[in-house]
Structure 1
Amino acid sequence: MAKKQKFPYLLGSKWTSNQQTWGWRHFQVVNRKNQGKWVFAELVASCDPTVRFWLNAQQLKDRSLWQPGWQSTQELEEIE
């Protein structure tokens, strides 16, 4: 039986940071990397493609740090 892939829908997903990250809040996953038991996602700022960074994909599950999809500032305030 094939091993189940962690975070199968990661690539192409969109995320909103609850705090500004390198000056931006909206990001999209453009790459993924598996290293042993860890999965990493490369995020790119939606408004500035030069802003790129790798993040442990497990952190995207933490709703105090990240929200799925692109949320407006007003929506983020309602969540808090």
Structure 2
Amino acid sequence: MAKKQRFPHLLQSKWTSRQTVFGWRHFQVVGRRNEGAWVFAELVAACDGSVRLWVNAKALHDRSLWHAGWQSLQEQAATPPPPGA
């Protein structure tokens, strides 16, 4: 029986950072890498393809750091960070 893949819809997903990262907020996942028990996502800035970074895929689900999808600053302001963030 095949092992279930963690984060199956990671590739091509879009994310908005709560803080600017290398001057940008909007990113898209263009790659993934499994390193033992960890899954990493390669993010590329939506407006500058030369800005790339690898993050732990689990960190993308931390609402104090990232929002799923591309959101404007007004949409981010309307969604407060989770308690304790």
SS for the counterpart of 1:74 is helix
**1:64 and 2:58 correspond:** no
Match of 1:19 in 2: 19
Aligned 1:25-64 pairs, distance under 5 A: 25-64=25-64
State the distance in 2 between where 1:61 and 1:55 align. Answer: 11
Listed one character per residue, the Cα deviations across residues 8-52 of structure 1 (whole Å, up to 9, x for unaligned) are 000000000001111000000000000101000000000000000
Runs of 4+ aligned residues of structure 1 deviating over 2 Å after TM superposition are: none
Unaligned 5+ segments in structure 1 are none
Q: Indicate the RMSD between aligned Cα atoms, in angstroms.
A: 0.5
% identity of equivalent residues: 66
**Unaligned 5+ runs, structure 2:** 81-85
User: SS of 2:49's equivalent?
Assistant: coil
Partners of 2:66 and 2:4 in 1: CA distance: 24
Count of aligned positions? 80
Q: Distance in 2 between matches of 1:54 and 1:70?
A: 18
- Structure 1 partner of 2:78: 78
The normalised TM-score by structure 2 is 0.92
